[in-house]
Amino acid sequence: MDAYQCIVKLKSLRKKGGRTMKRFGVIRLSIIYVLALTALAGCVQTVTTYNIDDYKMVPKVVYTAYLYSSGIGERLRTVFLKTPETDVEIVPYSIQITTAKVTFSDALTFMEKVGDFKNISIEGVKYKDKTIGYLLTFSRPTSPRESIEVNVYERDGKIYFSVTEKHYDE
């Protein structure tokens, strides 16, 4: 059977069982749709951040702080403050992250050692629509030659606090 005969045969099948072919197409599209939704369900953000304009909105309690400082003169800094009532595990994903019990003002003092208070960005961190902590970073890099990228994400029910350094050559 050559190609022309195959095309004629398919056309005759389509004419005879047109409804069957359409039904098969709908079923096939439905299966593809369900598989796509299943795959995309794993891509939903479970950790989100929101901007805090007034530092007075941050509760005055003792936090578990994850402090990062590195770079020339330790100018690259960030702090993740875990709220005391949060029972989710925070995994510091860098050997340069240290932990301590601090207040919010202690965290601001740590950040202000290398930058201006007005340059500090404060974000609330939510996991499953519940605030689990606060992230302090610099709005603008404190050094023109180096900066950091801060990521907070969830994997296997744990929250990872990751800091990556970026260096720029002049």
* Sequence-separated (6 or more) residues with CB below 8 Å from residue 127: 46, 47, 86, 88, 154, 159
Q: What's the CA gap between 90 and 20, in Å, rounded?
A: 54
pLDDT in tens, 24-55: 566 666 666 655 555 555 555 688 899 988 88
Q: What's the CA gap between 93 and 32, in Å, rounded?
A: 37
Q: Are 80 and 86 in contact (CB under 8 A)?
A: no
* Res 13: pLDDT: 58
pLDDT in tens, 111-166: 888 766 678 899 999 998 899 999 999 887 666 677 888 999 999 889 999 998 88
Residue 10 three-state SS? helix
Burial class (CB in 10 A: 0-12, 13-18, 19+), 55: middle
Residue 15 three-state SS? helix
pLDDT in tens, 62-82: 999 999 988 777 778 899 999
Q: Are 79 and 66 in contact (CB under 8 A)?
A: yes
